[in-house]
Amino acid sequence: MTLPFAGLSFPEMYEQALVGPLFRPWAERLLDDVELTAGDCVLDVACGTGILARLAKERLGESARVAGVDLNPAMLAVARQVAPGVDWREGDVAALPLHDREQFDVVVCQQGIQFFSNQTAAARQMRGALAAGGRLAVSAWRADEELPLLRELRHVVERYLGPIIDRRHSFGETAPLKALLREVGFHDVQSKTVSRTIRFDDGTVWVHMNAIALVGMSDAAKAMGEAERERVMAAIARDSVEVARPYTDEAGLAFELRANVATARG
């Protein structure tokens, strides 16, 4: 089975295939939660290819100060191509690349906090980047055990590679997220669970990229030779497409996805 977008890098596939149908709707909602107002300065942490920062720039105007930080230079390369007017910075969230005494009115982090190796240090850095009284919004996917399609797709991969801990869903409950923010000094910490239906015109694209993500988290896959890994990847992609078929009709693929959203003040 040929991988859609063959020949593109993963960040290019991410931008072209995932941002519009998957990440943009959640980013719009997260910006609604922080209630952007004219004059706000915004920092997007773990920005990826930058959809949150780009939307903040659109809402606030070209003169607004909006920065995006990510550890992955390839993701930032795509971000710079798409939106050169945003201040894109390469760096680790545990040591944010900020200017001397630089602070922001709004700090946002969409689907990044669950990947940080030191979540306390990362949360503390976000707190330090936020001006007094500023607003924070953080989101993380709910546990995949309560998301039928994602749970079934993980089971497909586990049949070939054994148990997988999907880090994308490692902040599956709101309580640990709220506790982390309170621990580092955030105030007025609130949380909610948001559910929405995600739609892809071509579901095979998302299914393939989801399989790539899961295989990338497997120690068994990392220990394989290239030929064996490609064979297993092809089998997983084929079986995953079949699992997704009941969620697909003439309009494409549709499935429920839930996220925890926490807001706070500095």
pLDDT tens for 147-191 read 999 999 999 999 999 999 999 999 999 999 999 999 999 999 999
Asked whether the predicted pLDDT for residue 251 surpasses 70, the reply is yes
Asked whether the predicted pLDDT for residue 25 surpasses 50, the reply is yes
- Per-residue model confidence (pLDDT) at position 3: 54
Closest CA relative to residue 79, chosen from 67, 88, 90 = 88
Q: For residues 57-81, give the mean pLDDT.
A: 97
Asked whether the predicted pLDDT for residue 9 surpasses 50, the reply is yes
- Per-residue model confidence (pLDDT) at position 1: 46
Where b means 16+ CB within 10 Å and e means fewer, 215-242 reads bebbebbeebeeeebeebbeebbebbbe
pLDDT tens for 85-103 read 999 999 999 999 999 999 9
Map residue 4 onto helix, strand or coil.
Answer: coil
- Per-residue model confidence (pLDDT) at position 6: 66
Which CATH number applies to 10-265? 3.40.50.150
Q: For residues 190-198, give the mean pLDDT.
A: 96
